């Protein structure tokens, strides 16, 4: 069990560019979550996958954001036409559907800075 | 909507001191979770509480699920330097969605007294 892995750890981009982040969950976990965390705040839920199906999306996930989990394993989060307000830490978490009250295991995040 | 209010926002600790922080809400939560986040890392689950009145310990940490289901506290006994970090309370959003769709408080930041 190597934990939840996120890449890259840091990303600096210019406003208007597209960025993509990757998350590799714990291998036996079929539930995957994306959260966003801004400075001085707790994480905020963005979206949830059960296997390859995207079952929940927050209103925070504007139409510039898209997430995929094509084979039910790793996931990608893409932000198109980035804005300065997108600067944040993007956290991925996973859990197991087969375990009651399975806790979320978070990765160490991708810190995005939009200049 | 549901919100979690944590207090204090920040506190300074001296090694060996006991620490207490709490989390309140105007809404009922059926699960209370306490996470710790170190700089540059993701949150790590410390304690999970599933039943009103439940008191659970994890080493030097003790947390309680309030009887009203609207509050929880976390105590750290005999603090050590590695306790420094940000502590978050969290609970599942109540509308019946995924248990992993969590609401987090804004955190209590623990620092070492200069």
Q: Does B91 touch chain A (CB under 8 A)?
A: no
Q: Determine whether the interchain pair B45/A48 forms a contact, defined as Cβ–Cβ distance below 8 Å.
A: no
Question: How far is Cα B36 from Cα B46, in angstroms, rounded to an integer?
Answer: 7
Pick the residue from chain A with its C-alpha nearest to B6: A42
Residue B111 confidence (pLDDT) above 80:
yes
**Distance in Å from the first CA to the final CA of chain B:** 39
| Per-residue pLDDT, A12 | 98
**Residue carrying the six token digits 């200049």:** A115
| Tens-level pLDDT at each residue, chain A (115 residues) | 579 999 999 999 999 999 999 999 999 899 999 999 999 999 999 999 999 999 999 988 899 999 999 988 999 999 999 999 999 999 999 998 776 777 899 999 999 999 9
C-alpha pair distances (Å), A14 with each of A81, A86, A110? 9, 11, 16
Residue B37 confidence (pLDDT) above 80:
yes
Residue B31 confidence (pLDDT) above 70:
yes
Pick the residue from chain A with its C-alpha nearest to B96: A56
Q: Determine whether the interchain pair B106/A44 forms a contact, defined as Cβ–Cβ distance below 8 Å.
A: no
Pick the residue from chain A with its C-alpha nearest to B34: A103
If phi > 0 it is left, if psi is from -120 to 50 it is alpha, else beta; for residue A36 that is beta
Q: Which residues from chain A sit within 8 angstroms of residue B88, using beta carbons?
A: 42-43
| CB of B113 closer than 8 Å to CB of B56 | no
């Amino acid at each position: 069990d190597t934990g939840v892995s996120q890449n890259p750890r840091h990303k600096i981009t210019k406003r208007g560019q597209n960025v993509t982040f990757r998350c590799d969950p714990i291998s036996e976990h079929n539930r995957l979550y994306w959260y966003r965390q801004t400075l001085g705040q707790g994480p905020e839920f963005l979206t949830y996958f059960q296997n390859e199906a995207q079952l929940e999306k927050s209103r925070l996930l504007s139409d510039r954001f898209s997430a995929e989990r094509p084979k039910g394993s790793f996931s990608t989060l893409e932000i198109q036409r980035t804005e300065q307000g997108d600067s944040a830490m993007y956290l991925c978490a996973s859990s197991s559907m087969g375990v009651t009250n399975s806790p979320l295991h978070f990765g160490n995040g991708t810190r995005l800075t939009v200049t | 909507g549901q919100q979690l209010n944590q207090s204090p926002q920040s506190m300074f600790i001296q090694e060996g001191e006991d620490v207490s922080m709490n989390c309140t809400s105007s809404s009922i939560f059926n699960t209370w979770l306490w996470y710790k986040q170190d700089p540059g890392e993701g949150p790590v689950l410390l304690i999970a509480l599933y039943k009103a009145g439940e008191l659970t310990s994890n080493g030097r940490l003790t947390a309680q699920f309030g009887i009203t289901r609207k509050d929880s506290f976390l105590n750290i006994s005999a603090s050590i330097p590695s306790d420094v970090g940000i502590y978050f309370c969290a609970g599942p959003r109540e509308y019946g969605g995924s248990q992993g769709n969590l609401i987090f408080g804004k955190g209590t930041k623990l620092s070492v007294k200069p």
